[in-house]
Chain A
Amino acid sequence: MTEALVSRSVIPAQAAVRPRAAGPPPHEDHALESVTVELGRAIFREIPKHAPSKISPARLDDLMMQLLMRDEDLRYRMLRFVDVYPALRTAKALGEHLEEFLTSPELATVGPGPFTALAQFLGRSRPATRGAIRLASRLGISRMGRQFIAGNTPEEVAKKIRRMEREGFLFSLDLLGEFVVSESQADHFAGRYLEMVERFGSLLGTEPSGRTPAGPRVNISIKLSSLTSKFEPMDPEGTSAAVRERLRPLVRAAQRTGAFINVDMEKYEYRDLTLQILLDLLDEPEFRGFPHLGTVHQAYLKDALPSLEWFLGELRKRGQPLTIRLVKGAYWDSEQIWARAKGWPIPVIMDKRETDASYERCLRMLIESNDIVRTAVASHNVRSIAHAMALAKAFKVPADRFEYQMLYGMAGPIKDALRAMGYPVRIYTPCGELLPGMAYLVRRILENTSNESFLRQRFAEGVSEEKLLSDPKSTR
Chain B
Amino acid sequence: MSTMLDATPAPLGEFRNQPPTDFSKRESRESFKAALAQARAKFPVAVPLVIDGQRIETAEKIDSVNPAQFTEVVGTSASASAAHVDQAVLAARAAFRSWSRTEPEERAGVLIAAANLLKARKHFFAAIAVLESGKAWREADADVDEAIDFLEFYAREMVRIGQPRRLQHYLLGERNDLTYHALGVVGVIGPWNFPLAIPVGMAAAAIVAGNTVILKPAEQTPVITSLWVDLMLEAGLPPGVLHYLPGRGEVCGARLVQHPDVNMIVFTGSREVGLHIIREAATVRDGQHFVKRVVTEMGGKNALIVDGSADVDAAVPDVLYSAFGFSGQKCSACSRVILLEEVYDEVVTRLKEGAHSLKIGLPEHPATQVGPVIDADAAAKVRRYVELGRSQAKPIHIGDVSKYVGEGFFVPPSIFTVDSARHALAQEEIFGPVLTVLRAKDFDEALEIANSTPYALTGGVHSRTPSNLRRAREEFQAGNLYLNRTITGAIVGRQPFGGYRLSGIGSKAGGPDYLRQFLVARVATENMMRNGVASLTESAVQTWED
Interfacial residues, chain A to chain B (CB-CB below 8 A): 80, 83-84, 87-89, 93, 97, 100-101, 104, 106-107, 178-179, 181-185, 229-230, 232-236, 238-239, 269-270, 272-273, 342-344, 436
Closest beta carbon of chain B to A442's beta carbon, Å: 11
Task: Give 5 nearest A-B pairs by CB, closest first.
Answer: A343-B19, A182-B353, A233-B24, A84-B464, A234-B23
- Given A93-B308, A181-B320, do A273 and B313 touch, yes or no (CB 8 Å)? no
Give every chain B residue within 8 A of A93 (Cβ-Cβ). Answer: 308-309
Whether the Cβ atoms of A342 and B20 lie closer than 8 Å is: yes
CA distance A97 to B465 in the complex (A): 7
**Complex: how many Å from CA A344 to CA B22?**
8
Q: A126: shortest Cβ distance to chain B, in Å? A: 20
Within B1-53, which residues are at the interface with A (CB < 8 Å)?
16-20, 22-24, 26, 29
- The stretch among B273-281, B354-362, B385-393 that forms the contact with chain A is B354-362
Q: Which residues of B contact A238 (CB under 8 A)?
A: 366-367
Complex CA distance for A185 and B349, rounded to whole angstroms: 11
Contacts of B365 in A (CB 8 A): 235
- Contact across chains for B350 and A182 when beta carbons are under 8 A apart: yes
Complex: A94 Cα to B443 Cα, angstroms: 17
Taken together as a complex, chains A and B put the C-alpha atoms of A83 and B353 apart, in Å, by: 25
Taking a contact as CB atoms under 8 Å apart, the answer to whether B369 and A230 are in contact is yes
Whether A87 pairs with B314 at a CB distance below 8 angstroms is: no
C-alpha spacing A107/B465, complex, angstroms: 11
Compute how far the CA of A436 lies from the CA of B369 in the bound complex, rounded to whole angstroms.
26
Whether A89 contacts B466 by the Cβ 8 Å rule is: no
Once A229-B357, A234-B29, A343-B19 are accepted as A-B contacts, the answer to whether A87 and B310 lie under 8 Å apart by CB is yes
- Interface flag for B342 (CB, 8 Å): yes
Q: CB < 8 Å: which of B137, B317, B467 contacts A234?
A: B137
Instruction: Report B128-139 CB contacts with A as 1/0, cut-off 8 Å.
Output: 000000000110
Q: Give Cα distance in the complex from A89 to B340, angstroms.
A: 13
With beta carbons under 8 angstroms apart, the residue of A83, A89, A182, A229 that contacts B311 is A83
Tell me the chain B residues, 345-395 only, with Cβ under 8 Å from chain A. 350, 353-354, 356-357, 359, 365-367, 369
B85 interface residue per 8 A CB criterion = no
**Chain B residues closer than 8 Å to A97, beta-carbon distance:** 309, 464-465
B469 contacts the other chain (CB 8 A)? yes
Evaluate contact between A343 and B29: CB separation under 8 angstroms: no
Add 11 more A-B contacts to A100-B466, A106-B466, A342-B22 (CB < 8 A): A93-B308, A100-B465, A100-B467, A106-B470, A182-B357, A184-B353, A232-B366, A233-B23, A234-B29, A342-B20, A343-B17
* 5 A–B contacts from the bound complex (CB under 8 Å): A181-B357, A232-B367, A234-B23, A234-B24, A344-B22
A185's nearest neighbour on chain B, judged by CB, is B353
- Whether B411 is near chain A, meaning CB under 8 Å from some CB there, is no
Closest Cβ of chain A to B487, distance in Å, is 16
Interface 1/0s, chain B 328-351, versus A by CB < 8 A? 000000000000001000000010
Q: Does B456 contact A (CB under 8 A)?
A: no
The distance in angstroms between the C-alpha atoms of A107 and B464, with both chains bound, is 11
B241 in the interface (beta carbon within 8 A): no
Q: Bound state CA distance, A10 and B455, in angstroms?
A: 66
In the complex, which residues of chain A have a beta carbon less than 8 angstroms from the beta carbon of B18?
343
Q: CB distance B24 to A88 under 8 Å? A: no
B200 at the interface (CB under 8 A from A): no
Q: How far is the CA of A232 from the CA of B470 in the complex (A)?
A: 35
Contacts of B354 in A (CB 8 A): 181-182, 229
Known contacts A100-B466, A181-B350; A89 and B23 CB within 8 A of each other: no
Q: Is B74 an interface residue (CB 8 A)?
A: no
Q: A89-B308, A232-B366 are in contact. Are A80 and B353 (CB under 8 A)?
A: no
Residue among B320, B350, B356, B367 having the largest count of chain A Cβ atoms under 10 Å? B367
Given contacts A232-B367, A234-B138, contact A273 B357 (CB under 8 A): no
Given A80-B464, A238-B367, the answer on whether A344 and B309 have CB atoms closer than 8 Å is: no
Q: A101-B466, A181-B316 are in contact. Are A89 and B369 (CB under 8 A)?
A: no
User: Given the complex, which residues of A lie within 8 Å of B16, measured CB to CB?
Assistant: 343
The interface bits of chain B over 439-474 (1 if a CB of A lies within 8 angstroms of the residue's CB, else 0) are 000000000000000000000000011110110000
With both beta carbons as reference points, the residue of chain A lying nearest to B319 in the complex is identified as A181
B342, closest chain A residue (CB): A89
* Smallest CB gap from A181: residue in B: B354
For residue B353, which residues in chain A have a CB less than 8 angstroms away from its CB? Answer: 181-185
Query: In the complex the two chains form, what is the Cα distance from A198 to B16 in whole Å?
Result: 53
Q: In the complex, A343→B152 CA distance in Å?
A: 15
Listed residue (B310, B311, B317, B342) with the most chain A CB atoms within 10 angstroms of its CB: B311
Say which residue of A87, A179, A342 sits within 8 Å of B464 (CB atoms): A87
Residue among B138, B350, B365 with max Cβ neighbours from chain A (10 Å): B350
Fill in one digit per residue for B205-243: 1 if any A CB lies within 8 Å of its CB, else 0. 000000000000000000000000000000000000000
Contact: A436 with B313, CB < 8 Å?
Answer: yes
Please indicate the chain B residues that have their CB under 8 angstroms from the CB of A229 in the complex.
354, 357
Q: Give the shortest distance, in Å, between B192 (CB) and chain A (any CB).
A: 24
Q: Mark B283-311, 1 if CB is under 8 A from A, else 0.
A: 00000000000000000000000001111
A342 CB contact (under 8 Å) in B19, B357, B466: B19
B356 near A183: Cβ-Cβ < 8 Å? yes
B23, B137, B350, B367: which contacts A230 (Cβ < 8 A)?
B367
By the criterion CB–CB under 8 Å, are A230 and B359 in contact?
A: yes
A389 to chain B, nearest CB (A): 35
Chain B residues with CB below 8 A from A89, complex form = 308, 342
Task: Report Cα–Cα, A232/B313, bound state, in Å.
Answer: 18
Most buried by A among B138, B308, B310: B308
Bound-state CA distance A89–B16 (Å) is 43
- The distance in angstroms between the C-alpha atoms of A80 and B484, with both chains bound, is 13
Given the complex, which residues of A lie within 8 Å of B466, measured CB to CB? 100-101, 104, 106-107
Residues of B within 8 A of A182 (CB): 350, 353-354, 356-357
Question: B24, B311, B359: which has the most chain A beta carbons within 10 Å?
Answer: B24
Residues of B within 8 A of A101 (CB): 466
Which chain B residues lie closer than 8 Å to A107 at the CB level?
466
With A234-B23, A238-B367: A179-B465 Cβ-Cβ less than 8 Å: no
Residues of B close to A272: CB separation below 8 A: 24, 26
Instruction: Report whether B367 and A87 are in contact in the complex, using a CB–CB cutoff of 8 Å.
Output: no
Contact (Cβ within 8 A) A273 B24: yes
Q: How many whole Å from B33's CB to the nearest CB in chain A?
A: 11
Q: How far is the CB of A77 from chain B (nearest CB, A)?
A: 10
State the Cβ distance, A322 to closest chain B Cβ, in Å: 22
**A83→B464 contact, CB < 8 A:** yes
Give the shortest distance, in Å, between B498 (CB) and chain A (any CB). Answer: 22
Write the chain B residue with the least CB distance to A107: B466
**Contact partner, B367, options A84, A183, A235, Cβ 8 Å:** A235
A64–B316 Cα distance when bound, in Å, is 33
Q: How far is the CA of A272 from the CA of B24 in the complex (A)?
A: 8
A343 and chain B: residue at smallest CB distance: B19
Contacts of A106 in B (CB 8 A): 466, 469-470
A238–B137 Cα distance when bound, in Å, is 15
Residue of A nearest to B369 (CB): A230
Inside 8 A of B359's CB, which chain A residues have their CB? 230
Q: Which residue of A lies closest to B463 (CB)?
A: A84
Q: Give the distance in Å from the alpha carbon of A184 to the alpha carbon of B353 in the complex.
A: 7
Contacts of A184 in B (CB 8 A): 353, 356-357
